Amino acid sequence: MSLQNVHITQGEQAIGNNPDMVISTLLGSCVSCCLWDPQAGVGGMNHMLLTSSTSKAGVCNLAGINAMELLINGILKYGGQRDRLRAKAFGGARMVSGLSDIGQQNSDFILHFLEQENIICEGHSLGGETARQLKFWPSSGKVMQKIRGDAAIETLTTIDVAPDIGNEIELF
């Protein structure tokens, strides 16, 4: 059987339960949440450009909340249960020094959201100054991450999370 590769970009999400499905994306200051129900074998990933906005009234997190609720509700439609959801979060890099740090704001949002919603975050790779390329298998929770440097340098990092149940972050 061949892999079913689904690439998402800013503002998109993908959800599935096929063991051969792989969701991929490329992140800079954006963040992605890989969310899955290990018992139901269903999950999904989103790609959030801006999780919050500021106005005279203060900070508004509706964009991020909406993206996360759409992802959660999509997983529930495939048979997942909210109380069994697990997460891994990625992105939030500071891509251009001297400008506002939207990557940090995005990172803060996703970790706060998961904590507020009592969703266990099994691991995250947030911040830094370089882009990340991700591949996520939604039926198992497996994530492979490649941290990209400038054209001359490429740095690879491994984050080992819960290896006893096969949900590690691997290099590719």
Q: Which contacts qualify for 127-130: CB closer than 8 Å, 24 or more apart?
A: 127/92, 127/93, 127/94, 127/103, 128/93, 128/94, 129/93, 129/94, 129/95, 129/97, 130/93, 130/155
- Angle between helices 62-77 and 102-116 in degrees, nearest 10: 50
pLDDT, position 151: 40
pLDDT, position 14: 97
Q: Which amino acid is at 103?
A: G
Rounded Cα distance, 132 and 69, in Å: 24
Provide the percentage of residues in the chain whose pLDDT is more than 70. 78
pLDDT, position 156: 42
Number of structural domains in the chain: 1
- Segments forming the whole domain that contains residue 139: 4-170
* 13 close to 128: Cβ distance less than 8 angstroms: no
| Domain harbouring 48, CATH code | 3.30.1330.200
pLDDT, position 149: 64
Task: State pLDDT tens for residues 5-55.
Answer: 999 999 999 999 999 999 999 999 999 999 999 999 999 999 998 776 655
pLDDT, position 57: 57
- Its pTM stands at 0.81
pLDDT < 50 positions in the chain: 151-168, 171-172
The helix/strand/coil state of 33 is strand
